[in-house]
Structure 1
Amino acid sequence: MEKIIVIKCGGSMIDTLSDDFFIAIKKLQETGFHPIIVHGGGPAINELLENLQIKTEFINGLRKTTKEVMEVVEMVLSGTITNKLVRKLHKHGISSIGVTGSDGGLMYAKPKDVENLGLVGEITRVNQQFLLNLLSIGMVPVISPIAIGMDFEDYYNINADTAAGEVAVAVNAEKVIFVTDVPGVLKDNEIIEKATASEILRFIDDGIISGGMIPKVMAAIHSLKGGMKEAMIVSGHTPLIAGENIIGTTIKRELEAVK
């Protein structure tokens, strides 16, 4: 199947995605693209953990996930957040279905670092055919990044950026898009429309890219290392498409970028 796009929505973006964002997804479908959405849910998870007085901590940007924390993560990601996104998509005439890593054996994982991170996983396998089957009947899969263990007993919390990249590589997507609260990577308040991975790293060293944008561009670069030809940083607050072009920063692997 050609023209698959994987779209990663951060948890902080879910409640503020504009109508233009969903209209753009509908337009992508109408022009022959097949979207897949992967989402996070950090702020909502933090809020519920706090309300339940369950301690949480982050190690190198990853949430240490005990069994108690994992129950909350699954409840929020696979329940509240997935259903919220599916409802918004249906509101805009987009047929969608919420799935987790255990649905259809979608994502399998192994523990990343049990001693320090608990039930945080690394994806070992993505069921490509399951996703292609959903796309073939016009569904937009909305994936919560929870994967099942190879023993079919444990289940794991997966970083949403990483999950999006792994899914994109598995289905041979045309591109992976990371949705943020800014229109792309900015330099002197202007969008950098195209950059190579090495240029992005240099922008980080020079301080042009800083703060919360760093993990987003690093996830994009990670997806390129995994086999993607290009990744994009776009805004969920402004129109996503101008004419036939997606608005944002395109990050390419070195060889493709110099052609």
Structure 2
Amino acid sequence: MEYLVIKCGGSIVKQLTEDFYKNVVRLQKEKQITPIIVHGGGPMITTYLKQMDVTTTFVDGLRVTTNEVLDVVEMVLSGAINKQIVRKLNNQGAKAIGMSGIDGNLFEAVPVKNADRIGYVGNIKKVNAEVVEAMIEQNYIPVISPIALGENNQRYNINADIAASAVAQALQAKLCFISDIPGILIEKDGKKHILHETDEQEIEQLIQTKVIYGGMIPKVRAALMALEKNVPQVSIVNGIKPDTLIDFIDGKKVGTMIQLKEVSHA
């Protein structure tokens, strides 16, 4: 059985059309590919924190995550967004099931290195893949929110890119980051072009020159981490354009495919 982990960022979830959800179901029913969705929810979390008058601060661009903030994060991720995705998949005839990294101890978390400054933000120590596999055996499409437990049952917020990478590693699945742009864009002859293939060395150069910046940095870092753990394929594709997921699985040149070994642009 072939698996595909699809990571949907919080900023794109509300932009995904009916076609996207139809394609996820087509992967399962026509292509014999088992999809697993991992999602974020940053923008909606920010909105709810403001509405609920929960004070948040930032350190080096990262939200300081207290237990009070985590209450809202968990409500938004595991409640509103997760169930929205499940509902839309079910509307297309799928059997989707929502879960967080807490359910069945799917994710075991440890605090990030600078946790003393940013609070309860974690990394994934272990993915208990049998939890996902049990759902897949029942023909469900798992939809996972990146909340996890660590020592003493402390909750942690996990970056969704990191969570998706960890799930792909555990299942040895292909990994597809869904974005609202067609991939990594570079400027050439005064125009922006899609970098259809790139490698670790080029990515580091693009980060240094700030071609890759902001939220794209953890995405490409998570991609490289997955490839180092023998994930067979990692790409960044536009999830808003119709049939992109199908084209990706069919091997067409869509988005940016990331590799460890050097690629030639000749």
- The answer to whether the 8 A contact 2:199-2:258 is kept is yes
- CA-CA distance at 1:207 after TM superposition: 4.5
Give the AA of the match of 2:111.
P
Correspondence for 1:162: 162
Correspondence for 2:256: 249
SS in 2 for 1:36: strand
SS in 2 for 1:16: coil
Correspondence for 2:55: 55
Correspondence for 1:122: 123
Which 4+ stretches in 1 moved above 4 angstroms? none
Correspondence for 2:220: 217
Correspondence for 1:16: 15
- CA-CA distance at 1:121 after TM superposition: 1.3
Distance 1:155 1:207, change over 3 A: closer
Distance in 2 separating the partners of 1:154 and 1:61: 23
Asked if residue 196 in structure 1 is aligned to residue 199 in structure 2, the reply is yes
Distance in 2 separating the partners of 1:67 and 1:109: 15
Q: Any idea what the Cα deviations from partners look like across 1:67-110, whole Å, max 9, x if unmatched?
A: 11010001100000100110111112221100011211111112
- CA-CA distance at 1:51 after TM superposition: 1.2
- The answer to whether the 8 A contact 1:183-1:248 is kept is yes
Q: Any idea what the Cα deviations from partners look like across 1:135-162, whole Å, max 9, x if unmatched?
A: 12211111010001233x2111111111
SS in 2 for 1:233: strand
Correspondence for 1:89: 89
Distance in 1 separating the partners of 2:230 and 2:58: 28
Distance in 2 separating the partners of 1:148 and 1:120: 11
SS in 1 for 2:14: helix
SS in 2 for 1:17: coil
Distance in 2 separating the partners of 1:54 and 1:15: 23
- The answer to whether the 8 A contact 1:107-1:147 is kept is yes
Give the AA of the match of 2:44.
A
Distance in 2 separating the partners of 1:7 and 1:15: 16
- The answer to whether the 8 A contact 1:165-1:226 is kept is no
Give the AA of the match of 2:256.
T
What RMSD, in angstroms, separates the aligned Cα atoms of the two structures? 2.0
Q: Any idea what the Cα deviations from partners look like across 1:7-30, whole Å, max 9, x if unmatched?
A: 110101111102222222122112
- The answer to whether the 8 A contact 1:229-1:252 is kept is no
Question: Which TM-score applies when normalising by structure 2?
Answer: 0.88
- The answer to whether the 8 A contact 1:179-1:233 is kept is yes
- The answer to whether the 8 A contact 1:100-1:106 is kept is yes
Give the AA of the match of 1:245.
G
Distance in 2 separating the partners of 1:61 and 1:228: 29
Correspondences of 1:105-184 after superposition (within 5 Å): 105-112=105-112, 113-151=114-152, 153-173=153-173, 175-184=174-183
Structure 2 unpaired stretches of 5+: none
Greater mean alpha carbon deviation, residues 201-210 or residues 61-70: 201-210
Q: How many residues align?
A: 254
- CA-CA distance at 1:61 after TM superposition: 4.5
Give the AA of the match of 1:8.
K
Greater mean alpha carbon deviation, residues 52-61 or residues 15-24: 52-61
Give the AA of the match of 1:25.
V
Distance in 1 separating the partners of 2:158 and 2:229: 16
- The answer to whether the 8 A contact 2:172-2:232 is kept is no
Question: Which TM-score applies when normalising by structure 1?
Answer: 0.90
Quote the sequence identity (%): 43
- CA-CA distance at 1:195 after TM superposition: 1.4
Distance in 2 separating the partners of 1:52 and 1:202: 42
